[in-house]
Amino acid sequence: MEKLKIRTLADIEAFERTPLTERIPAFSPYHLIQKGSAINPDATAITFLFSGELYQNPMNVTYRDLWANINRAANMFYDLGVGPKDVISYLLPNLPHTHYTLWGGEAAGVVNPINPMLEPKTIAEICQAAGTKVLVALGEFPGSDIWKKAAAIRKDLPNLKAIVRVMGPTDEKEGIYGFDETLAKYNGAGLDSKRQIAPDDMASMYHTGGTTGTPKLAPHTHFNEAAMTFMIGQAGELGVGETILCGLPLFHVNGTTVTGSFPFSVGARVVLLSPMGYRDPTLWPNFYKIVEHYKAVSFSAVPTILSVLLDVPKGNVDISSLRYLICGAAPLSVELFQRFEKATGMRILEGYGLTEGTCASSINPLYGESRVGSIGIRLPYQEMKVFVLDDDGKAARDAAPNEIGSICIKGPNVFKGYLDQAHNKSLYPREGWVNTGDLGRQDAEGYFWLTGRKKELIIRGGHNIDPMSIEEPLYRLAGVKVAAAVGAPDAHAGEVPVAYVELQEGAGLSEEAIMDHLKKEVGERAAVPRQVVILNQIPLTPVGKIFKPALRWDAISRVYTQQLEGLAPLCDGFQVQVTEDKVHGSLAVIEVTGAKVSADEIRAKASELLARFTVRYQVEMK
């Protein structure tokens, strides 16, 4: 099969002259993995590390066993009554079993991966919305509360017929089946159901954004996922037997696609970096040793990970096998980008994607120019444009080069709308096009640049947080008049939630009391705000709506002001003012008064102090 080496947009356009259906070898992940497994059945498909410390003593799974266990899982689910439209939800860390469940589950029915760190109430709501028929969950395990959550919600799931317990025994009286002992009973050679998977059959539904109200579930067809797997294969580079590291969670499309269906489809090896992935504290001191030991070619990360790795001494290990890493999910600081590449010698490919597009939409070209700070050019066979919208959310016109507008996507990887039709309002600015909710611009050479978000999601370390999950609990607190949650810059997580509150007269609430309330009421630990700020008046638009850009600017100003305290010995004082910028979205202007050293020294110090933040700034001497 011809392999595209992308240098410019023109390479993609030339490649697209051949229709995608003539290039793609199969129309479902199941069949793509079958083809990848057949390349060398005795090769290692998965290397599972029990922890970062035990990287030299892994569990290995061959392609022969991966393929057999995917079929066994499919047949197990089929025997439990799962048909093509029935839903299997899973609450699992990163395990080989997670891949058996995902790909076997898709061959039997529809798979619904769920973040096991969510609170039980939120997990139950997702399962209810999905119509979960079988729940797969990790059994009782030290340091994990997954089984406790699964047991707590089962009574709230009216369609539930069985629970499959990973690392735990069978209890048929309770409708519980031990994964390993049950799996072993089934045929691993093929599907007992004799199912013929159609490209437009639903394969999965991923939860995206929001932990209040009706959960947003984004369904993917088998062809969505197969097309996405192929597209990533053209944008990246991974050969038979080569190694990619997986540290992102397997309830997220990046983990399941970039470090799942893609490497499996080409016969590569996936190293699962422990059940906790990047959250394993023993991983970091050993990360570069793991790269050297397994001769990893690539890994996928969010900016948080690069920030942590920058502080890990590389020592004398040989990481020359690393050809590139993919970074996305949140903006990457230009300074962090440059420092990381210089310190490690790795090539960073910054990209962009969303669950609604199955995984990825654009990336800086591996063989072409990386424009630092951009999210690259579109992937093959996927359209990506910037539209200027009218007041009704419809595309009034295409944006001019470098004009900010709404980034929209279209293509065989793009979903057909949320499961709940109520969420599809304003989703389509033009027929066939999905509004990502992100604001950005496209330059003359086709590179896209993010400038902000029209949708108000807060992205904490690549994790989407709906402000409503914070605002609704605030409004339930007596004494709160107006409340809003926005993202504040954070050196480690990219951004963290901050809550702004305007109180009713005589309420007498303190910021500490409000924070205590949120810690109890917010349904997701990652969504608990880092800070609560009480204002005399929340800024409003002329029509009385909360003007969130002003709150985001205030949050940036507070963080930058605190971060720039290191300027104090160099000047009499400074002020940070944040405003809208037509090119970058937001701009922090740092006004320095009474400089005691040269302007260049002050700018160098500011650059050092703000190196890991993504909001643009400029220093002005007064």
pLDDT digits (tens, 9 = 90+) for 108-136: 999 999 999 888 998 999 999 999 999 99
Pick from 328, 331, 612: nearest CA to 491? 612
Mean pLDDT across 437-457: 85
pLDDT of residue 211: 44
- The pLDDT value recorded for residue 330 is 67
Per-residue DSSP letter, 132:
E
Region 486-509: mean pLDDT is: 90
- Percent over 70 (pLDDT), the chain: 96
pLDDT at 543 over 80: no
- Does the pLDDT value for residue 290 go beyond 60? yes
CA-wise closest residue to 269 among 230, 291, 243: 243
Q: Is the pLDDT of residue 284 over 90?
A: yes
Spatial separation of the C-alpha atoms in residues 485 and 333, rounded to whole Å: 23
Q: Which one is predicted more confidently, 228 or 495?
A: 228
Asked whether 184 and 90 are in contact (CB, 8 A), the reply is no
Which residue bears the tokens 């709501």?
A: 125
pLDDT for the residue numbered 454: 61
Output the pLDDT for position 453. Answer: 65
Tokens of 41: 């059945």
Average pLDDT, the chain: 92
Name the least confident of 79-93, 278-292, 304-318, 391-405: 304-318
**Cα pseudo-dihedral 106, 107, 110, 113, rounded to 10:** -20
Higher pLDDT, 16 or 468: 16
- pLDDT at residue 579, as a whole number: 86
Among the ranges given (39-53, 85-99, 345-359), the one the predictor scored with the smallest mean pLDDT: 345-359
Tokens 């507070």 sit at which residue? 558
pLDDT of residue 422: 86
Question: What pLDDT is recorded for position 212?
Answer: 47
Determine whether 397 is exposed, middle or buried from the number of CB atoms within 10 Å of its CB (0-12, 13-18, 19+).
exposed
The per-residue pLDDT for range 349-372, each reduced to its tens digit, is 999 999 999 999 999 999 999 998
Average pLDDT over residues 233-239: 92
Interacting residues of 82 by C-beta distance below 8 A, sequence separation 6+ = 88, 105, 108, 109, 133, 134
pLDDT band (50, 70, 90) for residue 460: confident
Integer Cα distance of 101 and 80 in angstroms? 13
Query: What is the rounded average pLDDT of the residues 580-584?
Result: 74
Contact 610, 335 (CB under 8 A): yes
Tokens of 390: 């009218």
Selection from 210-219, 333-342, 602-611 with the highest mean pLDDT: 602-611
Domains detected in the chain: 9-434 (3.40.50.12780), 458-538 (3.30.300.30), 554-621 (3.30.70)
pLDDT band at residue 425 using 50, 70 and 90 as cut-offs: confident
Q: What is the pLDDT of residue 620?
A: 93
- What integer is the mean pLDDT of 47-72? 98
Q: For 388-402, how does the pLDDT look when each residue is reduced to its tens digit (9 = 90+)? A: 999 888 999 999 999
Q: Rounded to the nearest 5°, which phi and psi values hold at 345?
A: 80, 5
Q: How many Å apart are CA 621 and CA 227, to the nearest integer?
A: 52
Q: How many helices (H) and strands (E) does the chain have?
A: 18, 29
**What percent of the chain stands above pLDDT 90?**
74
Give the pLDDT of residue 432.
94
What tokens does 560 get? 């930058």
